[in-house]
Chains A and B, each alone.
Chain A
Amino acid sequence: MSTQRRIEEKLTEAFAPTVLEVVNESHRHAGHAGSPGTGESHFAVRMTSPAFAGLSRIERQRRVYAVLAEELKGPVHALSLSLDGSEGGG
């Protein structure tokens, strides 16, 4: 399974998001120092989930980092997160 697909599956399972967008941005970092050149190293996630309602920004990101801990230790070099509670506020 691709890293992107695995990220999508894990986030779907953990947060039941109403909006989930996982974008592979690895091509934008190809050739940087620290870029492994695997084509699956840099991702951006945009997600809305009722699970984030009432949580601080730090707490939302911590929960996502926890779910993707394995990926972050392995193939994923950078993960950009934009997380919303479904109440519509930031």
Chain B
Amino acid sequence: MDEQVRERIQGEVDGGDVVLFMKGTPVFPQCGFSAAVVQVLNHLNVPFKGINVLEDDSIRQGIKDFSSWPTIPQLYVKGEFVGGCDIIREMFETGELAEMLQTKGVDVQLQA
């Protein structure tokens, strides 16, 4: 991967506590899998930054090399890759996601 692209991705990953590389935006996801992760994060009231990979082909390819993970969406918490849609959904259902976020110092509020 291009070193410049890697640096840009690293900057985005480090740029927030919870960062989601996704297709579309948090308000208008353009893929069902990205939408599912947005829904989970919104449900937990977790503030996050969405990076729309459809706006930049180098990021779209680069993020797959960055994490050695061939699919999008990809969720990062405090700089660490957590997983894609299947993993986030599973972790949400078992309660692990909220627990992990809290352990890492991210505020979580379960909606009543």
Interface residues of A (CB under 8 A from B): 29, 33-34, 57-58, 61-62, 65, 69, 72, 78-82, 90
Task: Please pick, from B30, B70, B71, B86, the residue contacting A82 in the complex, using a CB distance under 8 A.
Answer: B86
Q: Which range contains the number of B residues in contact with the other chain?
A: 10 to 19
| Inter-chain contact A72/B70, CB cutoff 8 Å | yes
Assuming the contacts A34-B31, A78-B33, A90-B90, asked whether A58 and B70 have C-beta atoms less than 8 A apart, the reply is no
Pairs A–B under 8 Å by Cβ, sample size 19 = A33-B30, A34-B31, A57-B90, A57-B91, A58-B87, A61-B84, A62-B68, A62-B69, A65-B71, A69-B70, A72-B70, A72-B71, A78-B71, A79-B71, A80-B33, A80-B85, A80-B86, A82-B90, A90-B90
Task: Check A65 against B83 for contact (C-beta < 8 Å).
Answer: no
Chain A residue contacts of B69, Cβ below 8 A = 58, 61-62, 65
Q: Binary interface profile of B, 86-110, with partner A (CB < 8 Å = 1, else 0)? A: 1100110010000000000000000
Interface readout for B14-44 with A: 1 if CB under 8 Å, 0 if not? Answer: 0000000000000000111100000000000
With a CB–CB cut-off of 8 A, which chain B residues contact A58? 69, 81, 83, 87
Residue of A nearest to B30 (CB): A33
Which 10 A-B pairs have CB atoms at the shortest separation, nearest pair first? A57-B87, A81-B86, A65-B70, A72-B70, A58-B83, A80-B86, A57-B83, A90-B94, A82-B86, A57-B90
A61/B86 in contact, CB under 8 A: yes
| Residues of the B chain whose Cβ atoms lie less than 8 Å from the Cβ of A80 | 33, 85-86
Of chain B, the residue at the smallest CB distance from A60 is: B87
Additional A-B contact list (16), CB under 8 Å, known A57-B83, A57-B91, A82-B86: A29-B32, A58-B81, A58-B83, A58-B87, A61-B69, A61-B84, A62-B69, A65-B69, A65-B70, A65-B71, A69-B70, A78-B33, A79-B71, A80-B33, A80-B85, A90-B94
